[in-house]
Structure 1
Amino acid sequence: MKHLPSLVAILLLIALIASCSSNPYSKTNRVYKKQAKEYGKQLSKFPIEHSEKEATLNFGEYEVGTTNFNLRKPNYVVIHHTAQDSVAQTLKTFTLVRTQVSSHYVIGDNGEIYQMLNDYYRAWHGGSGQWGNNTDLNSSSIGIELDNNGSEVFSEAQIQSLMQLLKVLKEKYNIPAANFIGHSDIAPTRKVDPNRNFPWKQLAEEGYGLWYDDIPFVSVEDTLVTEKEIVKEVPILEEPTVENDSIFEVKEQKVVSPLDVSPEIALKIIGYDTSNMDAAIRAFKLHFIQTEVNANLTDSDLKILNNLYKKYLK
């Protein structure tokens, strides 16, 4: 019996080793918990500690803490592709300090979901970017990375898991449909993810993003309309006839643009940063056209843009 404590200690050590070996990320999980604990301490401090510069402010006599508050909530979801070869490679990338990148969720090609960060924490997934007037998407968004090398078709299992996750996030945080966007939308000069194979229309049909209505094709000739009428007299010949001895109307015609406003204004209303118009157009076409992703807006593209910007106005 005197050896029982030693036996218990050995069993506990074996159990600890077994638990660590079963999860290859046990070490980084401990780092996560330690860092989260430190942030928790900072948030719970009251009276609030002020910097030297803040201490010069004329604060009141008493420290007064309100009883009405909660955590800030995310208001956007930004979807990425990993541009790597496997989930394992991405998980390793997001657990190395030197990479300085992270995401809230990673979804494998087989549909498995890895949550890497509490939704209320700020992940480093968006980098420098802008959507509307928001220039710090990391502070207001949830980042979701899809295992995809950048050119692959997304698997059905992966998209189904994504849809289930989006349903939970939308209901939990009341995220507007228009606020489900891609990395290329917020960083058009730097990013092209998720790639042109991503099923944005399918997501929009479930309420995760907006999509345009079916627009019937109209030929250029059908868009010609009368701008004004010019009356012209034809000189009377020696033997006038009904045809040449008359006054007739010549209609001056003008092609009407399919877009009610300029492309720049329409793209801005949707949310794109138009400081680089070529990049903004390419990002728009990557998301909504997904063919011929270039900086040219065709007649059909303009019709789609016109339909969409009106939806984003609502």
Structure 2
Amino acid sequence: MKRYTLLFLLPLLFFAACSSHKAIVAPVANTKKVYETQVDSFLDIARQMNPAMLVDSAGVSIPSQFIATVNLNLRKPNYVILHYTAQDSLQQTINTFSQVRTQVSAHYVVGKDGRIVHMLNDYLRAWQAGVSKWGSITDMNSCSIGIEIDNNGNEPFTEPQIKSLLILLAQLKKNYNIPQANFIGHADIAPGRKPDPGPFFPWKRLAEKGFGYWSDDIVVPAPDNFDYVTAFKLMGYDTRNINGTIDAFKRHFIQTDITPQMTQLDLNVLFNVYRKYQ
């Protein structure tokens, strides 16, 4: 029987991700073996062609069968979530993502010297977003690529880091046709719970390259009846904890002030930015 596209594509993607490159950090023992075992288990699931086993309210089985379609491919990421590692080194982060007990991972890690470690195939689901929400999406892990940047949260990002990050983002945007609005931070999707990538992150510079939005230099003042809570919702923010939402917004778009009050300047910036999301 002719094999289907999915059965060929996943192994090819896996082997491409594991091709030989010069080591830039020390790998953790046995992680490659565990990775291969996990991917094999996913392939076994993808190969299953079992019909849905359904019964009606009287307990009578509903006839069903599996007839394979020839029109399929892999689900692709549609968001990029940016983080700082909050750790002391690239090696420490690699070690963290290589331990089962930590239950956390990301697709990419960007070192201070600009080196990039690709840790998970882009089509696979990393554990990086946690409890989060953006718009109506409550499982951000299933639709996003996670990028961790080596930074403890209290220091500027390095120029080599940002240059490498911009190149990586350009490739991801092109490969997966990711909309400009869908490059966001961990704080944006988990307001009040996560602060990263933090007030040192150069969001304006990213927006100038087409990754996320930023306020114009000259903004139209927000109208007197401007409903900022609704504006947050239209952008995608979870507003159930409004103080957390304000904090997340200001960490991203204000950066010089993260107090939980909306000043007139904050309202003007929000009015300018949220209209870009429409």
Return the TM-score normalized by structure 2.
0.85
Secondary structure at the aligned position of 1:68 is classed as: coil
Give the match for residue 108 of structure 2. 105
Letter paired with 1:127:
G
Of 257, 261, 269, which aligns to 1:292?
257
Give the match for residue 281 of structure 1. 246
Matched, 1:209 2:241: no
What aligned pairs does 1:258-273 form with structure 2 within 5 A after superposition? 258=223, 261-273=226-238
What is the rounded CA distance, in whole Å, between the counterparts of 1:67 and 1:296 in structure 2? 54
What whole-Å deviation, never above 9, does each CA across 1:178-224 have from its counterpart, x for those lacking one?
A: 00000000001110000101000000000000111112698xxxxxx
What is the rounded CA distance, in whole Å, between the counterparts of 1:145 and 1:159 in structure 2? 12
What is the rounded CA distance, in whole Å, between the counterparts of 1:109 and 1:269 in structure 2? 35
Q: Give 1:140 shift.
A: 0.3
Contact 2:112 2:158 in 1 (8 A): yes
Q: Are residues 90 and 23 of structure 1, via their aligned partners in 2, closer, same or farther at CA, if it must alter by over 3 Å?
A: closer
Q: Are residues 102 and 51 of structure 1, via their aligned partners in 2, closer, same or farther at CA, if it must alter by over 3 Å?
A: farther
What whole-Å deviation, never above 9, does each CA across 1:233-255 have from its counterpart, x for those lacking one?
A: xxxxxxxxxxxxxxxxxxxxxxx
Give the match for residue 159 of structure 1. 162
Q: Give 1:63 shift.
A: 2.7
Letter paired with 1:158:
Q
Q: Are residues 259 and 56 of structure 1, via their aligned partners in 2, closer, same or farther at CA, if it must alter by over 3 Å?
A: farther
Give the match for residue 58 of structure 1. 62
Of 125, 131, 142, which aligns to 2:134?
131
Q: Give 1:309 shift.
A: 1.2
Q: Are residues 72 and 56 of structure 1, via their aligned partners in 2, closer, same or farther at CA, if it must alter by over 3 Å?
A: farther
Q: Are residues 31 and 65 of structure 1, via their aligned partners in 2, closer, same or farther at CA, if it must alter by over 3 Å?
A: same
Q: Give 1:24 shift.
A: 3.4
Q: Are residues 216 and 78 of structure 1, via their aligned partners in 2, closer, same or farther at CA, if it must alter by over 3 Å?
A: closer
What aligned pairs does 1:1-314 form with structure 2 within 5 A after superposition? 24-46=27-49, 48=50, 58-60=62-64, 62-215=65-218, 258=223, 261-313=226-278
What is the rounded CA distance, in whole Å, between the counterparts of 2:62 and 2:171 in structure 1? 45
Q: Are residues 49 and 210 of structure 1, via their aligned partners in 2, closer, same or farther at CA, if it must alter by over 3 Å?
A: same
Contact 2:238 2:245 in 1 (8 A): yes
Structure 1 gaps, min length 5: 1-21, 219-256
Letter paired with 2:244:
A
Percentage of matched positions with identical amino acids: 51
What is the rounded CA distance, in whole Å, between the counterparts of 1:213 and 1:128 in structure 2? 31
Return the TM-score normalized by structure 1.
0.76
Structure 2 gaps, min length 5: 1-24
* Structure whose CA Rg is larger: 1
What whole-Å deviation, never above 9, does each CA across 1:98-126 have from its counterpart, x for those lacking one?
A: 00000000010011100110111110000
Letter paired with 1:58:
I
Q: Are residues 298 and 52 of structure 1, via their aligned partners in 2, closer, same or farther at CA, if it must alter by over 3 Å?
A: same
Q: Are residues 24 and 104 of structure 1, via their aligned partners in 2, closer, same or farther at CA, if it must alter by over 3 Å?
A: closer
Count of residues in Structure 1 that have an aligned counterpart in Structure 2: 252
Contact 1:260 1:306 in 2 (8 A): no
Contact 1:84 1:147 in 2 (8 A): yes
Q: Give 1:258 shift.
A: 3.7
Contact 1:282 1:295 in 2 (8 A): yes
Contact 1:104 1:143 in 2 (8 A): yes
Letter paired with 2:86:
A
